[in-house]
Amino acid sequence: MFKHYFEVYKKFVETCFTQASSFRLSFALLIIMDLFFYFSALASVTFIFDYVPAIGPWSKDKFLFFVSFMLAVNHLHMTIVSENFWELSLLIRTGQMDFVLLKPIHSLFTSFFRHFRPASMLNGIAAWTLLIYYGIKLDLAALSWVLLPSMILTAFALNVVIEMIVAVSMFWIVEGLGINFLRMQFQQLSRWPDFIYGNITRRVLTIAMPILLIGSGPVRFLLDWKDYQLLLGMIVALVVFFKILLWVWDLGLKKYDSASS
C-alpha cells in the first residue's frame, strides 16, 4: 500500500513541476516571497532584542533558533500542503470532490496532497542554513543534531493535522476564505514560544488546540533534554488529533452534497 501511495504522490509532484515550469515569473516571485518572509520573521525578533537582553528564559540565539525551526516547518508546509487548503473549498463548492471520492486511494490523501509547490521547495536551502547556523551558535549536542530532522517532521505532522481539522469545516460553510484566514492565524500563534502567553491562553493553546506544542515541544527538548514534557504532549496530541481528523472527515463527507445530487 505504501508503494502505491508513493507512486501516486510521485505523479502528483511531476505534474506540479510541469505546471510550475510553464509560469516562470510566478515561480520566481514565489521564491522571493518566501525569502522575504524568512527575512521579516528573523528581523522582527532581532529588532526586539535590540532593546531587551532576553525574552523569558531565552537569549537572542535561542529565540532565533526557535524561529529558524519554525521556518523549517513552514518550508515543508508551504511546499507540500499549503496550496491544497485553498483548493478544498473549490472541490466542495463545484462538486469536483466527486472525482476525488471515486479514486482508489483515501480521499484525505488526494484532497490535501494533490498540489505540490516546487518554488517553495528550493527555499529549503535557506531555511536549513539558518537552522544549522543558529544551532552551531548554541553548540547543540550531537544527539540533538541527530534528532532534529525527526523533530521537524513530527512538528510538521501535528501542524498539518490541526489545520486539516479546521479545514474540514468547509463542508458545512462551503466558502473557504474565512476558514483559511483562521487557519493562518493559528499559524501565527504557533510561531511564538509558549512562555510568552498568559497562563489561561497557554493552557488553551497547549491542550484544547495544541498549536503551541508544534514548536515549543521539540525546541525546548533539543535545547535541554530534561525538558521533555511538551514533547511527549506533542506526540500524544498527534495521535489523538489524527483520530479526530479521521472522524470529522467522515462526518464532512456525509454532509457533502455531490454535484449529481
Which pLDDT tens digit goes with each residue over 107-153? 999 999 988 887 777 788 889 999 999 999 999 999 999 999 999 99
Q: What is the pLDDT of residue 20?
A: 67
Q: What is the pLDDT of residue 77?
A: 93
**Distance (Å) of CA 113 to CA 7, 16, 102, 187, 252:** 13, 11, 16, 19, 18
Amino acid at 181: F
Angle at the Cα of 233 (from 229 to 239), degrees rounded to 5? Answer: 150
Domain ranges of the chain: 2-255
CA-CA-CA-CA dihedral for 177, 179, 181, 186, to nearest 10: -170
The residues, any chain, with a CB within 8 Å of residue 151's CB and separated by 6 or more, are 69, 218, 219, 221, 222
User: Cell digits for 151?
Assistant: 523533530
Highest mean pLDDT among 46-55, 90-99, 139-148 belongs to 139-148
The residues, any chain, with a CB within 8 Å of residue 78's CB and separated by 6 or more, are 34, 117, 120, 123
Q: What is the pLDDT of residue 259?
A: 63
How far is C-alpha 26 from the chain's CA centre? 22
pTM: 0.92
pLDDT band at 34 (very low <50, low <70, confident <90, very high): confident
In DSSP terms, 55 is beta-bridged to: 58
Question: Looking up cell 484525505, which residue turns up?
Answer: 108
How many whole angstroms separate alpha carbon 238 and alpha carbon 202?
A: 18
**What's the whole-number average pLDDT of the chain?**
89
Highest mean pLDDT among 4-18, 27-41, 179-193 belongs to 179-193
Question: Looking up cell 514548536, which residue turns up?
Answer: 215
How many whole angstroms separate alpha carbon 116 and alpha carbon 206?
A: 30
Inter-residue contact 7 to 106 (CB < 8 Å): no
How many whole angstroms separate alpha carbon 66 and alpha carbon 46?
A: 13
Least confident of 26-30, 71-75, 90-94: 26-30
pLDDT band at 226 (very low <50, low <70, confident <90, very high): very high
